[in-house]
Amino acid sequence: MHAATVNFSTEQGYSSTKSVLNGQPAASPLWLASASYSVTASSGSGVVVSDRGYSSSNLAAVYQTPVSASLGGSVGLSLDFKFAGVGSANSTSARYFATIDLAASSSLTAATGATDNAKLILFRNANSSSYQIYFATELNSFNASTGFSLASIGDNGTAGDLTDNLRLSLTMTKGASNTAWNVTASLLNLDTSTTVATLNLTGMGTSSTFYNAASIYGGFNSGSAYSGGSGIGTSSWSATQFTTVPEPAAVTSVLLGLGALGVLGMARKRVSPAIDAGADRSE
């Protein structure tokens, strides 16, 4: 097993003073990130934060070292995070809090766009008192879990209140064609050691470009809009794992880990814990 861990620490070359994530660390592998993402590193770990208020614009960060999945092998990504809830009152539009994505290109538009990628999204639908996760590609646009309560993730229903530490995970196993991916996904409450939501999907389809890509790039998105939904403001990220298993027997993985735990919340609420989070499904 090969593992590469990114924890945004000073040991890995990230800046100890607040500075843009884009282009860090000084030596490869680098991040390509929206300008709103900044990183503050410390010994052993660090945190990435975005402050831009409510917006329909999507923000993305893409790790510039690719992986690939062979037939029967898998590629996966997980993200640890917190976010500040929007309150117990139902919204008339969908809200998107955290997205992890795999794409056939290293660009920001590939991560946030509607083609040649796959995404796992934590969201709260319009007029809903519960959260869900869903998996989406351009061929399978909406495959959602059953709803789970605010309390199950430590959201007490007060706007700006931070949830428990959460982990969003996605694994895609490559089948014989671009419509034969097997997908497993989950949301884990790390504080209570409880699996809050799961997805087990077979026969999922991606574009031929994604299926045949020699390089697949992982990243995270925050503040996406969908069906008129507003994006979420402040976010902090850490503890992300990017893994590949070329074949069932011989395991090779690339681990992309972002050290501490973070927070995803509203611009008016600044926090310094740590997190991981989200993407755009306005496709």
| Mean of pLDDT values over 155-173 | 87
In-domain check, residue 271:
no
Q: How far apart, in whole angstroms, are the C-alpha atoms of residue 136 and residue 120?
A: 7
Which of 94-98, 109-113, 129-133, 260-264: highest mean pLDDT? 129-133
Angle value at C-alpha 214, between 209 and 216, nearest 5 degrees: 80
Give the pLDDT of residue 262: 39
Residue 240: which domain range? 54-245
In-domain check, residue 197:
yes
Beta bridge partners of 188: 167, 195
Is residue 180 within 8 Å of residue 195, measured between CB atoms? no
Burial level of 78, CB count in 10 A (0-12/13-18/19+)?
A: buried
In-domain check, residue 121:
yes
In-domain check, residue 9:
no
In-domain check, residue 12:
no
Give the CA diameter of the chain: 49
In-domain check, residue 283:
no
Which residue has better confidence, 120 or 230? 120
pLDDT at residue 132 is higher than 70: yes
Number of domains in the chain: 1
Q: How far apart, in whole angstroms, are the C-alpha atoms of residue 271 and residue 165?
A: 14
CATH number at residue 210: 2.60.120
In-domain check, residue 83:
yes
Which residue has better confidence, 21 or 92? 21
Which of 5-19, 51-65, 220-234: highest mean pLDDT? 5-19
In-domain check, residue 151:
yes
